[in-house]
């Protein structure tokens, strides 16, 4: 089988297929089935004869046509199988008794925690008006994000957004998200999760059995959509129909034989998809069960070689990344301060100045961008170039001091499952901020979700007394390069933006914050007559008008209707 | 509660919590529980009094300390709960009868498809030695990837790789991957998939019920690890113990009442994690069931505004991206040819020449990189700057012709769930290639997996007669910008690399290939005396020695032990 790889139409199964008996190698519940079968001497002669025959056939085929013939065409236009969804819906209804005659009393404290129908976009009003009260009691303000668009264009924008969202759902939803309820008192035993197969490969389905009272004939059916069933071994006294097809029936008069046979049921994925889910129905007379089988390539890691054993080699593990605009003097101060403590660490600089100046030095990578391309574009560029395990983000007006111990941040990421850990930024006044924020998404139906951002954090971190878990942190952080690159900084955000990165990272980034690693912020206190030309030009770009672009992006790109924050 | 956000220790629940009753809004199996509770006039007065009291307390607290007190510290250092894994293992063994006394006969054709113990790194030997036989019968060759390292360093490299992989597993594995088998003949009804809660929020658990024969007392227990149970409504004649805790017991003499109560059981996630899974045990006397609850922020889309309705506005939807090195003449030919057909499309150029020349023109973005930074670094840079829905990758020596109809590629991505679609590249000789490849990963245990790459494709695509599904395609493709940015081009690949992008994309990218959209390749036929200095310099960079870096990356980064390909 292996030698017949030819450049013609039919794609072939390139290699012996895969089994995932169990994700946990410790679970040895199934009898070993794979034996090394010795190659017979007849096979090489047979192979030669076969090859000669095929050569002739192939040459003829090649002459005939170069274009591939359709082979098992697949439809990638439509939603996942709605038939399965209907089936699951019906089963759900059948399994629900309504008990409408049994009265109840609401428990307000808990019922109030449940989702409302849609989310409401409101901030807070009232409260005490003390001086600086907003510092002690920051009020929650709410922004209806659709106001980022003119009334005249809003309908069209909503229509397009709905259409794009529909496409997104088609691509991202699978049967793995659908609610399945296991019926009680079913004689069927089956796996409810953990069954996975590589695309176009074959596995044993673990855990299938029938535990039924005595009857004349024991019979089970198996049905799938994206693959076929078969048996890896044959047991006497069991009748098998539909082996190799999407619907297979096993029956026997002996229950032990049927159950032995069920231990050898295989599933083969036949409709290729790199990451999807097949739904399997397993039934016997009067009882039906449903479970899903993951069909996917598997998760390939992106590991980084950390360098020699021993103390954390910060220069081998970390690249410093920053973006600069109109502040070459501050940038040079930053570089000089880094070099005091980390003489050989690589520094990546994204630069969108109109008239770029050279930024030289060993282990400095300087990237020139089109003028004014933008803040997040520059951030995305810088991190796209990092080749070390971790990336340290700094702003171009930071200054490293003796308190900027990157080893501490590295230790956090080396010892925990966090993906990103922020530090603290110390202003000239002595005020030090870690800018910790929590975020939550409240479902809002067709109008979009509501995003709630609050100052604060979730938990402290055991073993790291100065560190906490949050959802967003300050712009001084160490992070796993592969995770930051995976989330990315959206180049559509040209000017002011910060938490947008963490919004895009929700569900992907596990974020922490340690306030004992401190970088200093070059002075921001500038008297108006003391501002240089470049300071004024910078201010023009840095502090633009209303947050038009940010909110329009939150509305369209992330499909939010509302943002509340304090 | 909402107004008391203060800059001290205790993080607070910032807003009313979330419920995910059912992922499918069509499933209306549960009684509506959420009513809008009107604000009572008493609340604002009570609020004022409370605020005064708190002000005093807060000022005192602020004076006392700036550092946050630990609040429900979380341990993010260790693996997911091994106690649960042990429990599931035990249950699995209990549910497995061995049936060792029932004999069987292997069905070779199927048993042979199952995974072997580890993967073997072998190519093909023998076969007919015809002239050009390698064209008709491309032989599979195999590379043991550890050979990318010197023997002296191999042990250390393996040790580091194992350590990095361990960290990766801790971060990526959850209880959702563990095999769970539903026992037969259990009186318990419960959800086996589809239960999801946002972090720190509350949901109703759907589908819980007890269907038991008549007995004196009906009793069920619920246990969780990352959250607590409660009830949203109270039913008479049901005793509830442990509401608000990780272990809750419900009991009643009336089965209908207990089942009505079970319809109001809530789960609240209390240990924050942006994307994890809690395991819930639901049991009654002599029977136990286990199911998982997803705890995650939810999937936020990254949508792009496609521009005005009507025909595909290619310039609004597509950005052309390329990397250039030592071939400004060819680059200019490319740009001129693009402009013939797409006068305003944005072209992003990553340039790592030693002496960069300006590349000017409207809608051209030219990025200057450090000299020789590299091929994939340049690709990663270019795509990191794209702000349109799709990105078209081209090499800098391509030429657009009348056959380069980007509208066709856009149509494929607009109408299907594909993420990327390749075209075809036509050489000066007339030979046109689409470079379609399929890939599969074979598990190999601790030594790493085996990666198998073969020429060919999986299926044709319904509705698109010239298009097929594959895993890797040629370097001329249109793709969804967010997916390409999510996968990324690894900047560690400095020189020759191509399929590495698709390897990193396995499981993430749904890849297609259409051979009716053709771009021309500027002539590669060069007589040695006709080569310019820049051609020779280019060849030096382009065709380096053995694929050291590529294979060492496959070994370490992706944790492969073997690569076979034809």
ipTM score of complex? 0.84
Minimum-distance CB partner of A27 among B89, B461, B488: B89
Minimal Cα distance from A511: which residue of B?
B274
Answer yes or no: do B55 and A263 touch at CB < 8 A. Answer: no
Averaged confidence pLDDT in chain A: 84
| Cβ–Cβ contact B361 with A under 8 A | no
* CA distances from residue B559 to A22, A297, B160, B165 in whole angstroms, order as listed: 20, 14, 11, 8
Q: Using alpha carbons, select from A504, A498, A468, A471 the residue that is nearest to residue A485.
A: A504
Buried-state track B394-431, b at ≥16 Cβ within 10 A, e below 16: bbbbbbbeeebbbebbbebbbebbbbbbbbbbbeeeee
Minimal Cα distance from B235: which residue of A?
A104
pLDDT of residue B19: 31
Q: Give the C-alpha separation, A538 to A540, whole Å.
A: 5
Minimum-distance CB partner of B168 among A52, A111, A301: A301
| Cβ–Cβ contact B154 with A under 8 A | no
Minimal Cα distance from A14: which residue of B?
B454
pLDDT of residue A436: 97
Torsion sign across C-alpha atoms A528, A532, A536, A542: negative
| Cβ–Cβ contact A53 with B under 8 A | no
pLDDT for residue A125 is more than 50:
yes
pLDDT for residue A564 is more than 90:
yes
Minimal Cα distance from A416: which residue of B?
B77
pLDDT of residue B155: 94
pLDDT of residue A530: 47
Of A94-108, A202-216, A531-545, B4-18, least confident by mean pLDDT is B4-18
| Cβ–Cβ contact B75 with A under 8 A | yes
Q: Give the C-alpha separation, A90 to A93, whole Å.
A: 5
Answer yes or no: do A156 and B272 touch at CB < 8 A. Answer: no
Which one of A136, A368, A490, A510 would you mutate to disrupt binding with B, by most B Cβ within 10 Å of its Cβ?
A136
Q: What is the dihedral of CA B40, B44, B45, B47, to 10 degrees?
A: 120
Record the tokens describing residue A518, joined without a space: 């401190």
pLDDT of residue B275: 94
Q: Using alpha carbons, select from A380, A327, A293, A251 the residue that is nearest to residue B386.
A: A380
Minimum-distance CB partner of A5 among B101, B115, B137: B137
Torsion sign across C-alpha atoms A452, A456, A461, A466: positive
For chain A positions 383-442, those within 8 Å of chain B (CB to CB) are: 383-387, 414-419, 438-442
Answer yes or no: do B507 and A179 touch at CB < 8 A. Answer: no
Residue with tokens 């910032």: B14
- Which residues of chain B does A375 touch, with a Cβ-Cβ cutoff of 8 Å? none
pLDDT of residue B555: 96
Answer yes or no: do B116 and A34 touch at CB < 8 A. Answer: yes
| Cβ–Cβ contact A351 with B under 8 A | no
Q: Give the C-alpha separation, A232 to B109, whole Å.
A: 8
Q: Tens digits of per-residue pLDDT, B290-307?
A: 999 999 998 889 999 987
**Rounded mean pLDDT of B189-214?**
95
Answer yes or no: do B384 and A370 touch at CB < 8 A. Answer: no
pLDDT of residue A96: 63
Which one of B4, B14, B235 would you mutate to disrupt binding with A, by most A Cβ within 10 Å of its Cβ?
B14
Answer yes or no: do B201 and A113 touch at CB < 8 A. Answer: yes
pLDDT for residue B69 is more than 50:
no
pLDDT for residue A116 is more than 90:
no
Q: Tens digits of per-residue pLDDT, A144-173?
A: 999 999 999 999 999 999 999 999 999 998
Which one of B456, B487, B493 would you mutate to disrupt binding with A, by most A Cβ within 10 Å of its Cβ?
B456
* Closest CA of chain A from B55, distance in Å: 8
Interface contacts (A, B; CB < 8 Å): 674
* Closest CA of chain B from A535, distance in Å: 25
Name, in order, each residue with C-beta under 8 angstroms of A152's C-beta and a sequence gap of 6 or more. none
pLDDT of residue B559: 96
Q: Give the C-alpha separation, B490 to B497, whole Å.
A: 10
**Rounded mean pLDDT of A224-235?**
96
What confidence tier does B143 reach under pLDDT thresholds 50, 70, 90? very high
Minimum-distance CB partner of A165 among B67, B209, B303: B303
In this predicted model, which residue has the larger pLDDT, A263 or A523?
A263
Averaged confidence pLDDT in chain B: 84
What 3-state DSSP class applies to B422? strand
Q: What is the dihedral of CA B191, B192, B198, B201, to 10 degrees?
A: 40
Count Cβ atoms within 10 A of the Cβ of residue B460 and give its class: 0-12 exposed, 13-18 middle, 19 or more buried. buried
**Rounded mean pLDDT of A235-250?**
97
pLDDT for residue A28 is more than 50:
no
Torsion sign across C-alpha atoms B396, B397, B401, B405: negative
The half-sphere exposure of A372 on its side-chain side, counting CA atoms within 13 A, is 6
pLDDT of residue B3: 33
- Which residues of chain A does B448 touch, with a Cβ-Cβ cutoff of 8 Å? none
Answer yes or no: do A233 and B89 touch at CB < 8 A. Answer: no
- Which residues of chain B does A73 touch, with a Cβ-Cβ cutoff of 8 Å? 459-462
CB A246 within 8 A of CB A301: no
* Closest CA of chain A from B530, distance in Å: 34
What confidence tier does B28 reach under pLDDT thresholds 50, 70, 90? very low
What confidence tier does A32 reach under pLDDT thresholds 50, 70, 90? very low
For chain A positions 535-554, those within 8 Å of chain B (CB to CB) are: none
Angle at B114 between CA B111 and CA B120, to 5 degrees: 120
| Cβ–Cβ contact A460 with B under 8 A | yes
- Which residues of chain B does A257 touch, with a Cβ-Cβ cutoff of 8 Å? 102
Minimal Cα distance from A85: which residue of B?
B24
- How many C-beta atoms lie closer than 10 Å to residue A94's C-beta? 11
pLDDT of residue B51: 76
CB A256 within 8 A of CB A248: no
In this predicted model, which residue has the larger pLDDT, A459 or B34?
A459
pLDDT for residue B16 is more than 60:
no
Which one of A101, A317, A379, A440 would you mutate to disrupt binding with B, by most B Cβ within 10 Å of its Cβ?
A440
pLDDT for residue A557 is more than 50:
yes
Minimum-distance CB partner of A2 among B124, B471, B510: B124
What confidence tier does A540 reach under pLDDT thresholds 50, 70, 90? low
Which one of B193, B497, B504 would you mutate to disrupt binding with A, by most A Cβ within 10 Å of its Cβ?
B193
For chain A positions 91-110, those within 8 Å of chain B (CB to CB) are: 92-93, 95-97, 99, 101-108, 110
| Cβ–Cβ contact A222 with B under 8 A | no
In this predicted model, which residue has the larger pLDDT, A198 or B101?
A198
For chain B positions 251-280, those within 8 Å of chain A (CB to CB) are: 256-257, 259-261, 263-264, 266, 268, 271-275
What confidence tier does B94 reach under pLDDT thresholds 50, 70, 90? low
pLDDT of residue A70: 35
Q: Using alpha carbons, select from A288, A133, A512 the residue that is nearest to residue B59.
A: A133
| Cβ–Cβ contact A511 with B under 8 A | yes
Q: What pairing do the DSSP bridges indicate for beta strands B449-455 and B560-565?
A: parallel
pLDDT for residue B74 is more than 70:
yes
| Cβ–Cβ contact A361 with B under 8 A | no
Of A110-114, A131-135, B15-19, least confident by mean pLDDT is B15-19
What confidence tier does A4 reach under pLDDT thresholds 50, 70, 90? very low
Q: For the residues of B39-83, what is the DSSP string, one character each? A: PPTHHHHHHHHHHHHHHHHHHHHHHH-SSPPP-S-B--SSPS-HH
pLDDT of residue A62: 55
pLDDT for residue A27 is more than 50:
no
Minimal Cα distance from A213: which residue of B?
B185
Record the tokens describing residue B135, joined without a space: 């064209």
**Rounded mean pLDDT of A115-128?**
78
Record the tokens describing residue A418, joined without a space: 């966090």
pLDDT for residue A24 is more than 80:
no
Count Cβ atoms within 10 A of the Cβ of residue B533 and give its class: 0-12 exposed, 13-18 middle, 19 or more buried. exposed
Q: Tens digits of per-residue pLDDT, A414-432?
A: 999 999 999 999 999 999 9
Of A170-174, B15-19, B213-217, least confident by mean pLDDT is B15-19
The 8-class DSSP code of residue A79 comes to: P
Q: Tens digits of per-residue pLDDT, A106-115?
A: 999 999 999 8
- Which residues of chain B does A112 touch, with a Cβ-Cβ cutoff of 8 Å? 16, 37
pLDDT of residue B31: 41
Q: For the residues of B227-238, what is the DSSP string, one character each? A: EEEEESEE-TTE
**Rounded mean pLDDT of B309-333?**
90
- Which residues of chain A does B12 touch, with a Cβ-Cβ cutoff of 8 Å? 456
**Rounded mean pLDDT of A289-318?**
88
Q: Using alpha carbons, select from A202, A205, A209 the residue that is nearest to residue A193.
A: A205
Answer yes or no: do B454 and A206 touch at CB < 8 A. Answer: no
pLDDT for residue A399 is more than 70:
yes
pLDDT of residue B5: 30
Minimal Cα distance from A371: which residue of B?
B365
Q: Tens digits of per-residue pLDDT, B531-540?
A: 455 555 665 5
What confidence tier does A47 reach under pLDDT thresholds 50, 70, 90? confident
Count Cβ atoms within 10 A of the Cβ of residue A46 and give its class: 0-12 exposed, 13-18 middle, 19 or more buried. exposed
Q: Give the C-alpha separation, A445 to A118, whole Å.
A: 6
pLDDT of residue A528: 54
**Rounded mean pLDDT of A381-389?**
97
For chain A positions 171-200, those within 8 Å of chain B (CB to CB) are: 171-172, 176-196, 198-200
* Closest CA of chain A from B224, distance in Å: 18
* CA distances from residue A109 to A465, B231, B233, B243, B455 in whole angstroms, order as listed: 33, 10, 10, 12, 61
pLDDT of residue A479: 98
| Cβ–Cβ contact A65 with B under 8 A | no
Q: What pairing do the DSSP bridges indicate for beta strands B432-433 and B287-296?
A: unpaired
């Amino acid at each position: 089988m292996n030698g017949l790889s030819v450049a013609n139409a039919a794609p072939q199964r390139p290699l012996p297929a895969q089994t995932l008996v169990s994700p946990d190698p410790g679970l040895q519940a199934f009898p070993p089935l794979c034996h090394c079968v010795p190659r017979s001497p007849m096979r090489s002669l047979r192979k030669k004869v076969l090859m000669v025959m095929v050569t002739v056939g192939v040459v003829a085929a090649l002459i005939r046509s170069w274009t591939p013939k359709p082979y098992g065409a697949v439809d990638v236009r439509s939603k996942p199988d709605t038939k399965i969804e209907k089936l699951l819906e019906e089963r759900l209804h059948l399994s629900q008794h309504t008990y409408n005659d049994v009265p109840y009393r609401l428990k307000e404290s808990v019922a109030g925690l449940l989702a409302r129908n849609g989310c409401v976009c409101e901030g807070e009003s009232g409260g005490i008006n003390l001086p600086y009260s907003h510092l002690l009691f920051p009020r929650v303000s709410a922004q209806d994000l659709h106001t980022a668009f003119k009334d005249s264009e809003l309908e069209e924008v909503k229509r397009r957004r709905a259409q794009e969202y529909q496409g997104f759902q088609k691509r991202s939803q699978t049967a793995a998200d659908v609610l399945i309820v296991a019926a009680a008192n079913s004689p069927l035993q089956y796996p409810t999760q953990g069954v996975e197969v590589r695309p176009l490969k074959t596995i044993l389905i673990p855990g299938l059995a029938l535990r039924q009272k005595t009857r004349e004939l024991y019979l089970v059916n198996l049905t799938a959509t994206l693959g076929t069933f078969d048996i890896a071994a044959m047991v006497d006294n069991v009748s098998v129909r539909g082996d190799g097809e999407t619907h297979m029936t096993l029956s026997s008069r002996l229950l032990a034989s049927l159950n032995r046979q069920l231990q050898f049921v295989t599933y083969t994925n036949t409709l290729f998809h790199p990451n999807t889910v097949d739904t399997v129905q397993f039934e016997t007379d009067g009882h039906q069960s449903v479970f899903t089988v993951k069909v996917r390539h598997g998760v390939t890691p992106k590991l980084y070689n950390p360098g020699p054993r021993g103390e954390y080699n910060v220069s081998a593990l970390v690249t410093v990344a920053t973006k600069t605009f109109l502040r070459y003097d501050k940038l040079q101060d930053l570089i000089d301060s880094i070099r005091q403590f980390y003489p050989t660490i690589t520094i990546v600089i994204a630069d969108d100045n109109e008239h770029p100046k050279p930024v030289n030095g060993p282990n400095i990578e300087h990237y020139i961008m089109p003028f004014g391309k933008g803040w997040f574009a520059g951030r995305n560029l810088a991190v796209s170039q990092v080749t070390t395990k971790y990336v340290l983000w700094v702003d171009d007006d930071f200054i490293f001091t003796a308190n900027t111990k990157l080893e501490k941040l590295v230790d956090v990421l080396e010892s925990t499952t966090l993906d990103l850990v922020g530090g603290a930024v110390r202003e000239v006044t002595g005020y030090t901020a870690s800018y910790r924020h929590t975020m939550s998404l409240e479902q809002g139906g067709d109008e979009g979700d509501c995003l709630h951002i609050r100052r604060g954090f979730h938990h402290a971190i055991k073993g790291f007394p100065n560190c906490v878990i949050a959802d967003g942190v300050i712009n001084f952080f160490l992070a796993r390069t592969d995770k930051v690159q995976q989330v990315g900084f959206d180049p559509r955000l040209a000017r002011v933006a910060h938490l947008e990165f963490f919004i895009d990272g929700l569900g992907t980034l596990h974020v922490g914050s340690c306030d004992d690693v401190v970088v200093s912020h070059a002075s921001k206190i500038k008297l108006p007559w003391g501002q240089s030309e470049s300071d004024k030009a910078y201010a023009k770009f840095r502090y633009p008008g209303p947050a038009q672009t940010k909110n329009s992006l939150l509305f369209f790109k992330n499909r939010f209707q509302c943002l509340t924050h304090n």
